[in-house]
Amino acid sequence: MKQFLKRILHFTFLLLLIFMVGMILPATPRVSESILFVKNDKDSLLANVDSPRIIFLGASNLLLGLNSQIIHDSLRLNPINASLFWGIGLIYMMDNAINYIKSGDIVVVSSDYSEFYGELAYGREELLWTVLDVSPSSIMKLRSEQWLNIFRFLPSYSFSKFALTEWLFKYENAIYSRNSCNRYGDMYTHWGLAKPKLVPLKKIAGDFNSSIIDELVKFQTRLREKDSFLYITFPAYDSASFQTFKTKILEVENELKKKHFALLGTPYRYNVPDSLAFDGAGHLTKEGCDYRTRLLIEDLKVQMREKHWVY
């Protein structure tokens, strides 16, 4: 029995040692080439692009759903597409962006509808990889809710460092890589590719999370303190995804209206034909990006006229 317990202790110690070593190893070549590392490039844009600026925050519905050149040419504003993947979470994106906001900035948030349900807005494994490999300086800024969401991914993160495929094969995804964004932060490398089979959204998990609305209210307050402005708009979903989750989508719109946010358009307005969708809900082809961008410009111009801004 003692021999058995000793072996168990040795095995446990070995696992703990491997876990600790994995935690301190640098990012693997595969991860270093992933879309996660575009976060540093976008922080550089937030820090260095001159005013007047319009900043877009959200998940892949903006990352693969915007043509900022059209915004630049039409509104004479300097666009920054600071959007990241949904697994990083809207809360982290807002907390990160607020450090770079300048007086007069216009901030447009377009969060995926799923981030208003359950705890998704507090991040998943992509957030863990971001704070450990991409931006370690932000690790101490995570909230308790974020740690509760991502803690369970620590073992898979650590042990992934010992997978030979992570080190021996340098593979850059043709679409989702750190080199996939243009000078504005738009992901554009898929624009010239053949359109794959569209995969509509399969689920929006969890109950409506009113605390996410509260976080948007707080974010708006912090923006106003910096003499900047918040607008909220909606993802450009394909018809199948929209129809499947229409009830939840409209619930999000209703809750935003209750807090009197300045809304750009409606969910119905941004329900795009399937022909303009690329590979998933909110991901658009080049034509889809142009179409959605022109809708945003029209809605922004309405708001600017009301505020007597010149564009």
Write out pLDDT tens, residues 278-295: 998 999 999 999 999 999
Tell me the C-alpha distance between 220 and 206, whole Å.
Answer: 25
Q: Which fold has domain 29-305?
A: Rossmann fold (3.40.50)
Q: Read off the pLDDT of each residue in 118-129 and give the average, rounded to a whole number.
A: 95
165 — pLDDT class (breaks 50, 70, 90): confident
Taking the model in full, what pTM does it have? 0.92
Tell me the C-alpha distance between 11 and 13, whole Å.
Answer: 5
Task: Give the helix/strand (H/E) hosting 299.
Answer: helix 286-306
Polymer length of the chain: 311
- Determine how many CB atoms are found less than 10 A away from the CB of residue 224: 11
- Determine how many CB atoms are found less than 10 A away from the CB of residue 48: 9
Q: What is the pLDDT of residue 29?
A: 80
Tell me the C-alpha distance between 193 and 174, whole Å.
Answer: 9
**Residue 120 in 3-state DSSP?**
helix
Q: What is the pLDDT of residue 207?
A: 96
Q: In what order do the strands lie in the sheet with 106-110?
A: 78-81, 53-58, 106-110, 229-232
Tell me the C-alpha distance between 275 and 113, whole Å.
Answer: 21
Question: Residue ranges per domain, the chain?
Answer: 29-305
pLDDT higher than 50, residue 181 = yes
- Tell me, rounded to whole angstroms, the distance of Cα 65 from its chain centroid: 12
Tens digits of residue pLDDT in 26-66: 778 888 888 899 999 999 999 999 999 999 999 999 999 99
Write out the two tokens for 305: 């006229």
Tens digits of residue pLDDT in 209-245: 999 999 999 999 999 999 999 999 999 999 999 999 9
Q: What is the pLDDT of residue 163?
A: 78
Tens digits of residue pLDDT in 186-209: 999 999 898 898 888 899 999 999
pLDDT higher than 80, residue 308 = no
Tell me the C-alpha distance between 116 and 164, whole Å.
Answer: 38
Q: What is the pLDDT of residue 18?
A: 58
Q: What is the 3-state secondary structure (H, E, C) of 124-172?
A: CHHHHHHHHHHCHHHHHHCCHHHHHHHHHHHHHHHHHCCCHHHHHCCCC
Phi, psi of 84 (to 5 degrees): -130, -175
Q: What is the pLDDT of residue 311?
A: 46
- What percent of the chain has pLDDT above 90? 72
Q: What is the pLDDT of residue 5?
A: 57
